Homo-oligomer: A and B are copies of this chain.
Amino acid sequence: MTVSQIQVLLVEDEPAQRELLAYNLEAEGYAVRRAENGEEAMMLIDEAAPDIIILDWMMPLLSGIEVCRRVKTRPETREIPVIMLSARSEEVDAVRGLDTGADDYVIKPYNLRELMARVRNQVRRVRPAASGEALTFDDIALNAETHRVMRGEQEIKLGPTEYRLLVTFMEKPSRVFSRDQLLDMVWGRDIYVDTRTVDVHIARLRKALTKQGGTDPIRTVRGTGYALG
């Protein structure tokens, strides 16, 4: 509801993958345009420049690598963020070596949430107004761009995990998250970590948030998980 809707160009030849991703992007509020191959992608880019491009690197007709190179070469499209999807980490290295200028790389099979986060990140870079930047809850303010957290006038210093934890909470205040959900969202879907680790980080986050006074904003929901507020 800020300015206009954010345009995502999704380039992926495998229909199932494409629709899965498109579905999720649309659920997040993006306008998705689809392309099956590099050639189609270039046509759509010429037609109307998207805000961000998600690009499978292996495609018929015109590879993702080449598309990326062209986008990053032309002055009028150079600023558009490109996220490259590739099948394995070795490929990422290879692609990176080709110096296509992609802004981010995601290895398949990707964690959907993580990919979404990366999309958000790139979008924020180019369209700061479009993605709600400063989250606030009560007297806590979190600036996603600067990674700064303030409580009242005081700055709160957080470690990376505590920060992500807080972001997760602040994106959906009051919502209860199970420990498993938090592990998925904050640590990553395939990480194996004891669920009690969540408790420890909650404790650390609590300590940091209440260090300079103020009430504990995190609510424990016994038998279920935690929530902000």
Contacts and interface: CB of A to CB of B under 8 A. Distances in A.
A224 B4 contact: yes
A214 interface: no
A83 to B, nearest CB: 18
Contacts of A223: 160
Number of copies of chain A assembled together: 2
Given A160-B223, A223-B160, A145 B175 contact: yes
A227 B147 contact: yes
A111 to B, nearest CB: 9
A229 B19 CA distance: 37
Interface in A22-43: 23-24, 26-27
Given A4-B224, A27-B24, A224-B4, A174 B146 contact: yes
A191 interface: no
A112 B20 contact: yes
Contacts of A19: 112
A227 B144 CA distance: 12
11 contacts: A4-B224, A16-B16, A16-B20, A23-B24, A23-B116, A24-B27, A145-B175, A145-B176, A146-B174, A146-B227, A160-B223
Given A20-B23, A23-B24, A27-B112, 20 more contacts: A4-B224, A16-B16, A20-B20, A20-B112, A23-B112, A23-B113, A23-B116, A24-B27, A145-B175, A145-B176, A146-B174, A146-B227, A147-B176, A147-B221, A147-B224, A148-B174, A159-B222, A160-B222, A160-B223, A160-B224
